[in-house]
Structure 1
Amino acid sequence: MSNPVTVHLRYEIDADKLAEFREYGERWIRLVNRLGGTHHGYFLPSEGDSDEAFALFTFPSLADYEQYRIAAATDAECVEAYRFAVETKCIRRYERRFLAPVFE
């Protein structure tokens, strides 16, 4: 039996393009869920730093995550979501971490 993997993304965003980043996040929540993951949401600035956002999503295994990455590279909606972020420049940079979740 494989272990689930949760991906933690930390984004440095353009604080003046929060609406664009929100749209980007809404797209990816649906896409990750459609491609076999469970998206736990995007977390946008509220108090504190205005240019930092986070996302969390889980796949049943690292192998399932890797299959998602392969599928996302050619999926038309995923490619469009990436293009949207590039064109709007709502994301300055991001970091990806892999975590071992503990669920009840």
Structure 2
Amino acid sequence: MITVHLKYEIDPDKLADFEEYGRRWVRLVPRFGGTHHGYFLPSEGDSDIAYALFTFGSLAEYERYRIAAAADPDCQEAFELARRTRCIKRYERRFLTPLETDA
């Protein structure tokens, strides 16, 4: 299992645009076999940092999702929303795996 952790630097004056971007991806990722765990928006503290988490069964499944998303019209519309509004200044992507524990 692989969880993708995204850290976004966003434009706080364009939070509504970023929220729409996030809503779209929460619906899109499951179409490609992933589980979206949500977007986490600024509240207290930094007003320009947001996070997202989503999981795929493997890194190979994630790579297939990336290829499919690049060709999907709905995904392209979501990318275009971010480009057009410039609600995202930059982002960082990390790949995490859960710690296996004995129950």
Give TM-score, length-normalised by structure 1. Answer: 0.94
User: Residue by residue, what CA displacement relative to the aligned partner does 1:21-60 show, whole Å, maximum 9, x if unpaired?
Assistant: 0000000011001111000000000000000000000000
| Cα offset, 1:101, TM superposition | 2.0
Q: Does 1:6 align with 2:3?
A: yes
From 35, 38, 44, give the equivalent of 2:35. 38
2:52 to 52, 55, 58: 55
Alignment partners' CA distance in 2, 1:88 and 1:102 = 38
* 1:101 alignment partner in structure 2: 98
Q: Hey, what's the Cα distance between the residues in 2 that align with 1:68 and 1:41?
A: 17
RMSD (Å), alpha carbons: 1.1
Identify unmatched segments of 5+ residues in structure 1: none
In 2, Cα distance between equivalents of 1:101 and 1:65: 16
Gaps in structure 2 of 5+ consecutive residues: none
TM-score, normalised via structure 2 length: 0.95
Q: How many residues align?
A: 101
Aligned-pair identity in percent equals 70
Partner Cα distance (1:102, 1:18) in 2? 33
